[in-house]
Structure 1
Amino acid sequence: MVSATDLPKNKEEDAASRYHWRRNELALGWSARWSLTARILAVNIFVLLIFAGTFFYVAQYRDRLTGLQTGKYKAMVELITDNLENTPEAEWDRLIGKMGQQTGFRIRIFNSDGKRQFDSWDGQPPTYTIHDPKKDDWQHRLARTLDRINDIVVHASPLSYYQEPKDDRLQAWPEAVTARSQNEMAAQIRWAADRTPLISIATPIGKDGATLFATDNPRYITHKVRRQRFWAMIVLLVVTCVSVGLSLFLARTIVHPLKSLAKAAVRVRLGRAREVKVPRLPARRDEIGLLARSLSDMNTALQQRIDATEAFAADVTHELKNPLASLRSAVDSLEMIKDDHLRQQLIGVIRDDIQRLDRLITDISEASRVDAEMARSSFEVIDLGPLIQGVTKHCERRPDAADVRIAFARPQSGIAVVLGDGTRLTRVVENLIDNAISFSPPDGLVTITTTRDKDDVVIRVEDEGPGVPDDAKEEIFRRFHSVRPSQEAFGRHSGLGLAIAKATVEAHHGTIEVAKRSHGKAGASFIVHLPAAPIIYPTQNGKKA
């Protein structure tokens, strides 16, 4: 049961609660229209997209490999240049062919006029072959397409395509022109026709203005990059399938139960609470299971409340019909009776019926308001000693208590302290004392005691009447329970007093029961247990007394 102290106590708190709810609801923004399944998938796919974005940086990996290979080629060209400079020029043709086969380069030497003087491929088989892309299969064409897309996305530096000039002169190669003009080594990277790198190195050689020009097509770089990208795509595909599968599983374990609970809630809202069986999901120990069981318990409580309300309405109708029927009969008979004595008797009956109706309506109104008012009540610290003493003095002055003695042993101050609604607790004590007085014999004694029992404050109201049979100990707390003492005038009590007392005590998180008096004495003993408030000791100079 939710404590009344946990609910908003005033309009300001309730308005603040609604404001925070609206602010949290609006915090979803544009995603508020998305289903929960879509949000789960979107979050996981977004993470995968971030991971997939790293594929576009294979261009950096390719550039790094190409840079390392270019540096390696420069060192090899320096060695070739040293060998040639230490070899008579007559032997360069043989030496260039041999070094071209060993290094995989195509080595050309241009003289000072820019004409090609030596070529390692003259009289030797080519050391590399540039593939014709038109002869490649679909897999290679797809790979080249992915290469282009990758370069476009990462804005890779564009490279020109390698093409053998019709007139193979030094002026056809910009890097060779640069090497001669600046008298230092120059390099350039181009795309071969099949989009593999072709690296060219140019460097001055000898003292007569000759230039060495070496080229190679390291296809392994492209193959290595594409292989890495292929396996990365395989990993991404597997991770995507697993992620989507887990997302759908997660959505299923969350969304489907929520939809079932939402449908059940809608059916309850449509007034079909008795038909609805809210799934409790006993196997689930997570928040969804907790929500399901909470909604199921709420639905059960709602059904009980509806049943209680319908039963209460039926009992009210029944209880109101009796005095109304008597009143109507008396009014109808009043016109036909001429005898003054009989007319006075009928008027007395009418007066009693009106009082009975007034008492019934008052008690019914109070009984119907107990739950709602207690839910809104603001509990405060109450010492039951002065409260019960005030109620006792009031009851002693009532005419119907003239032949009944009332004794109250007031407890020590600070012992019988509870958190509650003083007005409602006063009514509980009044109803219990009123019930004890009505069942007490002439000169009977009604005893009220208040004690502390561990964490509870215990109130006992005992009388010397006939007591309560064991089979009626629960029935007497039902609304409109009508078993009254024989000496009591008809209609004096509505049968709601003990029901109101029980509802009020339970709203204070307490219990009420009836038992026989101790030591075999005749009479009934009503026992109320209320949670005790922390004891606050008087202080002196900031210290406990």
Structure 2
Amino acid sequence: MLTRADNRAAAAEDLQLVWSARWSLTTRILVVNILAVALLAGGFFYLDTYRSRLVDTRIAVMEDQLALLDSALEAARPDQRERLIGEFTRATESRLRFYAPDGRKLYDSFAHGPPTYTLRDPDLQPWKRDAARAMDRGIDWIVGAPAYPEFEEPATDRAAAWPEVKETQQSGEGTSRFRYAPERTPLLSATRVVDLEAPEVMLMTVNARDITRTVRAERFRLAVVLAMVLIASVLLSLFLARTIVRPLRRLARAAVRVRLGRAREVVVPRLPSRRDEIGTLARALSDMTQALRERIDAGEHFAADVTHELKNPIASVRSAIEGLGRVKTDEQRAQLLAIADEDVRRLDRLVSDISDASRIDAQLSRTLFEPIDVGLMIESMLAARAARAEQGEKPQPRIAFARPRKGTATVMGDGHRLERAIDNIIDNAISFSPPDGLVCVRATRLGQEVHIGVDDDGPGIEPAQREAIFRRFHSERPNGEAFGRHSGLGLAIARTIVEGHGGTIAAGDRDDGKPGASLLITLPAAEEGGAA
């Protein structure tokens, strides 16, 4: 079985934060929303693969173009080949070189016509291009793009200066390379063996600036989207933090002030316009603070009332004790001792009732309720009372009980406490009824409630006093009753017990129109087969 300490430890462990324990709520909201934007930034990884696919596609196209050119050159007459190569390079915006088996360069399209592309010097370009290249390098580093070599035009243009040409000469298979031009645009190359007068290696190079332009344009669009989403996310996060954190801080400050003992001067905001969990929390804290104020005030009033009620018997006992030294006859001494004895009994009753009144709330909150047959409980209680009355000397009013059918008037509760509440009410009725009067007790079930009524033959209760009689130390007593026989806590204790069982107690006139008062207890009826 889990103890209360185990339950507290389990609840604390369930709500414990691990890695974000030191973060404020605003920071957590920002981190969560920015993390979602960071996931969107993964689109840069996609753009890297997109560039790789563009490069692979362009190289595949170059290899197909070289295969078509190879077929065209074999079919063309020797005097037509130069014109065919020129048209090919202009159409594909490429540069074509041919190398002999001994490595000599046999042909260069740039030497027989205008260049189809130009490798630009980055030092002669505006700063915007430098910024774009720096951004390209940064993004490539972030996404972990492969480090491709930089292209430099060979000082001596022979087959040995081109690794792809050497590889093709050795294997007889075409190959390709990716390099960065000086301005950081892709320079793609592809090779193929052609057999004209002798086996030669054909090298095709292309400066694919359009790939760089396409990738940069997509990156720019993605960056704009990311910037807009980031700004919107931060603004929404701050708005969310403002609507959550600010009221929580106000509630926390109010709770701290209440904890410091300033409950009376603290105004806990109720946030009536908010219908969410924070509004519910604010209203719950406000109600809790109000209940705390009422409890504090009740405690202070109770302490003041206790002090007032204890002073009179204590002063009487002191006066009696001081008088014992001055009296001279045994009769006077006996009178003083009787007064002291009565005052000590009165103090004992007060202390017992005060103790019960101060502990009932806490005890009821820990009590395990069980089904109680109110009819059987009242019947046994009245039987015990009748036995005690037979031994007493003073005549008591008769008590009539209209007992309900067995099992019909059943409530969930603490039998000892309920018996105490009903006994206090019957005591009150007897004290206000004449010796030859009749106190009527009834218990009935009406719908989902059990009603317990006690009627007396006394003078009745004025409407203005029907709420005051349930206050602690209410002092209005029947005519002729000796002072101090009652503590003034009986009906207050009864109300505390009844309300602790979820019921109500009220005073009124008798239903039959006769003189006297009627006190009615209303309790929730126990469900069939109910258990605590």
TM-score computed with the length of structure 1 as normaliser: 0.93
Residue 446 of structure 2 is matched in structure 1 by: 453
Q: Output aligned runs, 1:51-62, within 5 Å.
A: 51-62=40-51
Matched AA of 1:204:
V
Separation (CA, whole Å) in 2 of partners of 1:22 and 1:95: 83
- Corresponding residue to 2:37 among 30, 48, 61: 48
Assess if the C-alpha contact under 8 Å between 2:372 and 2:410 holds in 1: yes
Residue 359 of structure 1 is matched in structure 2 by: 349
Residue 343 of structure 1 is matched in structure 2 by: 333
C-alpha displacement at 1:155, in angstroms? 3.6
Matched AA of 1:37:
T
Residue 250 of structure 2 is matched in structure 1 by: 260
Assess if the C-alpha contact under 8 Å between 1:326 and 1:353 holds in 2: yes
Q: What secondary structure does 2:322 align onto?
A: helix
Residue 204 of structure 2 is matched in structure 1 by: 214
C-alpha displacement at 1:400, in angstroms? 7.2
C-alpha displacement at 1:179, in angstroms? 2.5
Residue 501 of structure 1 is matched in structure 2 by: 494
Q: Output aligned runs, 1:456-495, within 5 Å.
A: 456-495=449-488
Superimposed CA distance per residue, residues 335-390 of structure 1 (whole angstroms, 9 cap, x where no aligned partner): 11112222222221111111111111111111111111112111111111121112
Superimposed CA distance per residue, residues 84-133 of structure 1 (whole angstroms, 9 cap, x where no aligned partner): 11112233223222322222111222234332222222242110011111
1:196 aligns with 2:185: yes
Show structure 1 runs of 4+ deviating over 6 A. Answer: none
Assess if the C-alpha contact under 8 Å between 1:391 and 1:429 holds in 2: no
- Corresponding residue to 1:275 among 252, 265, 270: 265
Assess if the C-alpha contact under 8 Å between 2:395 and 2:435 holds in 1: no
Residue 114 of structure 1 is matched in structure 2 by: 103
Residue 125 of structure 2 is matched in structure 1 by: 136
C-alpha displacement at 1:401, in angstroms? 6.8
1:377 aligns with 2:370: no
Residue 150 of structure 1 is matched in structure 2 by: 139
Greater mean alpha carbon deviation, residues 494-503 or residues 13-22: 13-22
Q: What secondary structure does 1:518 align onto?
A: coil
Residue 507 of structure 2 is matched in structure 1 by: 514
- Corresponding residue to 1:82 among 42, 54, 71: 71
Separation (CA, whole Å) in 2 of partners of 1:164 and 1:270: 81
Matched AA of 1:388:
I
Superimposed CA distance per residue, residues 55-104 of structure 1 (whole angstroms, 9 cap, x where no aligned partner): 14422111100111111111111221111111122332232223222221
Question: How many aligned residue pairs are there?
Answer: 526
Q: 1:111 to 1:30 in 2, by over 3 A?
A: closer
Identity %: 50
Separation (CA, whole Å) in 1 of partners of 2:215 and 2:155: 32
1:324 aligns with 2:317: no
Greater mean alpha carbon deviation, residues 486-495 or residues 167-176: 167-176
Superimposed CA distance per residue, residues 221-244 of structure 1 (whole angstroms, 9 cap, x where no aligned partner): 011111111111111111111111
Assess if the C-alpha contact under 8 Å between 2:43 and 2:222 holds in 1: no
1:386 aligns with 2:376: yes
Separation (CA, whole Å) in 2 of partners of 1:376 and 1:536: 22
Separation (CA, whole Å) in 2 of partners of 1:282 and 1:302: 21
Superimposed CA distance per residue, residues 313-333 of structure 1 (whole angstroms, 9 cap, x where no aligned partner): 111111111111222222222
Residue 542 of structure 1 is matched in structure 2 by: none
Separation (CA, whole Å) in 2 of partners of 1:385 and 1:519: 22
Separation (CA, whole Å) in 1 of partners of 2:436 and 2:460: 16
Q: What secondary structure does 1:29 align onto?
A: coil
C-alpha displacement at 1:146, in angstroms? 2.7
Assess if the C-alpha contact under 8 Å between 1:510 and 1:529 holds in 2: yes
Assess if the C-alpha contact under 8 Å between 2:396 and 2:430 holds in 1: no
C-alpha displacement at 1:137, in angstroms? 2.4
- Corresponding residue to 2:400 among 387, 403, 407: 407
Separation (CA, whole Å) in 2 of partners of 1:320 and 1:220: 101
Assess if the C-alpha contact under 8 Å between 1:395 and 1:401 holds in 2: no
Assess if the C-alpha contact under 8 Å between 1:108 and 1:117 holds in 2: yes
Assess if the C-alpha contact under 8 Å between 1:111 and 1:210 holds in 2: yes
Gaps of 5+ in 2: none
Gaps of 5+ in 1: 1-10, 538-545
Greater mean alpha carbon deviation, residues 199-208 or residues 396-405: 396-405
Separation (CA, whole Å) in 1 of partners of 2:529 and 2:42: 66
Matched AA of 2:12:
R
Q: 1:536 to 1:199 in 2, by over 3 A?
A: closer
Q: 1:228 to 1:287 in 2, by over 3 A?
A: same
Matched AA of 2:367:
S
Residue 440 of structure 1 is matched in structure 2 by: 433
1:182 aligns with 2:171: yes
Q: What secondary structure does 1:526 align onto?
A: strand
Superimposed CA distance per residue, residues 194-247 of structure 1 (whole angstroms, 9 cap, x where no aligned partner): 111111121111241122221111101011111111111111111111111111
C-alpha displacement at 1:302, in angstroms? 0.5
Separation (CA, whole Å) in 2 of partners of 1:450 and 1:532: 12
Matched AA of 1:317:
T
Matched AA of 2:379:
Q
Separation (CA, whole Å) in 1 of partners of 2:473 and 2:194: 121
Matched AA of 2:217:
R
Q: 1:456 to 1:469 in 2, by over 3 A?
A: same
Matched AA of 1:241:
I
Q: What secondary structure does 1:200 align onto?
A: strand
C-alpha displacement at 1:50, in angstroms? 2.4
TM-score computed with the length of structure 2 as normaliser: 0.95
Separation (CA, whole Å) in 2 of partners of 1:126 and 1:480: 113
Matched AA of 1:35:
S
Q: What secondary structure does 1:311 align onto?
A: helix
C-alpha displacement at 1:174, in angstroms? 2.0
Superimposed CA distance per residue, residues 467-489 of structure 1 (whole angstroms, 9 cap, x where no aligned partner): 11111100100111111111222
Residue 290 of structure 2 is matched in structure 1 by: 300
Residue 3 of structure 1 is matched in structure 2 by: none
C-alpha displacement at 1:12, in angstroms? 4.5
